[in-house]
Structure 1
């Protein structure tokens, strides 16, 4: 009787060891598969990040900050960030009562004001304007003078048709 109990215990222990071996082996395969999948996703994300980085560099191509030749025009002036200074001066034109004087349209819902500004180089600005419902774009010529005043001249304008 004792020998049968030991035999049963031995068979039970062997089955338990076999079960743990198979379970561990399956778990190892699953973890290896997960690691390989995560490595693939990381590589895809790296490629995506590099693509986005190249797109950002493309978008920054036409900016005053990345145009050393245009920035050279302002070396003699004591301005830390000429692009921001020019944007601030352009936004000051919004402070007048009524429509912005650079926008050649009368606001339909309210007054037309300049919203977004992109300083392209030492001569041109792209700007977006809106009255809340209608919107358009402007190309503005500007001149930053030695006394730090800025003259703005409207070069082109576009008002989008409402939809």
Structure 2
């Protein structure tokens, strides 16, 4: 009888050890899977951080030639007490669109309708890049401007380009 008790105890202990071994392996596999997921998420976060850094550098690069980021050019307008000189100049340039017919700064006659200025980028205290279109044809302008003390603005066309329409 004593041998049977030891045999039962040994079999029970072996089953308990086997259960603990299998459960421990499953737990270890689950932890490893979670670690793999964490490593994958960490790699994704690093990739997103790199993408964000590249996007920030591109934005800074695009903002390099702007009046808002050029303190020397903004110094020309300190005495005028304009809150946003760039926006003021853009508004004055867009006012030239209000005349009937083509915009007077665009040296082409509109083919589909009147040529009007669409997008404007004030580069500094003297120059503007502008885009114009008639809805089908478009081009670019380089404009020299002068903001006077009475807040009037004189625009002078320096160069222009009309893109060839390709079907």
Normalization by structure 1: what TM-score?
A: 0.90
Give the corresponding residue for 1:73: 76
Give the corresponding residue for 2:58: 55
Work out the number of aligned pairs and report it. Answer: 163
Change (3 A) 1:109 1:12: farther
Q: 1:12 Cα shift?
A: 5.9
Q: What is the alpha-carbon root mean square deviation over aligned residues?
A: 2.1
Give the corresponding residue for 1:119: 122
Give the corresponding residue for 1:159: 162
Q: How does 1:99-118 map to 2 (within 5 A)?
A: 99-118=102-121
Q: Which runs of 5+ in 2 are unaligned?
A: 1-5
Correspondence 1:36 to 2:39: yes
- Map Cα deviations across residues 7-66 of structure 1 (whole Å, 9 max, x no partner): 887766555443322221111001101111211221222222212212211111110001
Q: Which runs of 5+ in 1 are unaligned?
A: none
Deviates more, 1:49-58 or 1:127-136: 49-58
| Structure number, greater radius of gyration | 2
Distance in 2, matches of 1:111 and 1:16, equals: 84
Give the corresponding residue for 1:129: 132
Distance in 2, matches of 1:152 and 1:70, equals: 17
Change (3 A) 1:5 1:115: farther
